[in-house]
């Protein structure tokens, strides 16, 4: 059995204006996190590795929401955050996960996400596994 693994995203606003990290779920009561230029926010998240019982026995990295920041969720194989850059529309920030986080098991680690501009739609801002 693989033990859940706690990691941290360190989100850095390297733009010229303010950035608001939004809770990804619309029903959340969490207020946005306001990051001024050069400020960072630490967003812890916990993942576990699940092996499917279907043919092929694929392994999948699953976010544990109750042990993760309310500003992080999961969409398919990516962690997902939302942010508003200045007065622009809310944008998705994707972080690609992978089973390499568990082989060999890594102790708690921080992964830096440097945002210099709004990300391109569907393109991961950070890839935790090749």
Domain boundaries, the chain: 5-127
Alpha-carbon dihedral 73, 77, 83, 89, rounded to 10 degrees:
-120
pLDDT tens digit at each of 130 positions of the chain: 567 888 899 999 999 999 999 998 777 889 999 999 999 999 999 999 887 766 666 778 899 999 999 999 998 888 999 999 999 999 999 998 887 777 766 666 888 888 888 887 777 778 877 5
Q: How far apart are CA 4 and CA 20, in angstroms?
A: 29
Per DSSP bridges, beta strands 110-115 and 5-13 are parallel
Write down the pTM of the prediction.
0.84
């Amino acid at each position: 059995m693989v033990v859940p693994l706690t990691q941290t995203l360190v989100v850095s606003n390297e733009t010229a204006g303010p950035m608001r990290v939004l809770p990804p779920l619309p029903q959340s009561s969490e207020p946005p996190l306001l990051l001024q230029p050069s400020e960072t926010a630490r967003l812890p998240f916990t993942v576990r590795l699940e092996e499917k019982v279907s043919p092929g026995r694929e392994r999948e990295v699953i976010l544990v929401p109750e042990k993760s920041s309310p500003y992080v969720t999961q969409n398919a194989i990516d962690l997902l955050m939302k942010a508003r850059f200045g007065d622009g529309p809310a944008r998705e920030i994707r972080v690609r996960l992978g089973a390499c986080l568990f082989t060999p098991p890594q102790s708690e680690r921080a992964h830096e996400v440097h945002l210099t501009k709004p990300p391109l739609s569907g393109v991961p801002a950070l890839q935790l596994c090749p």
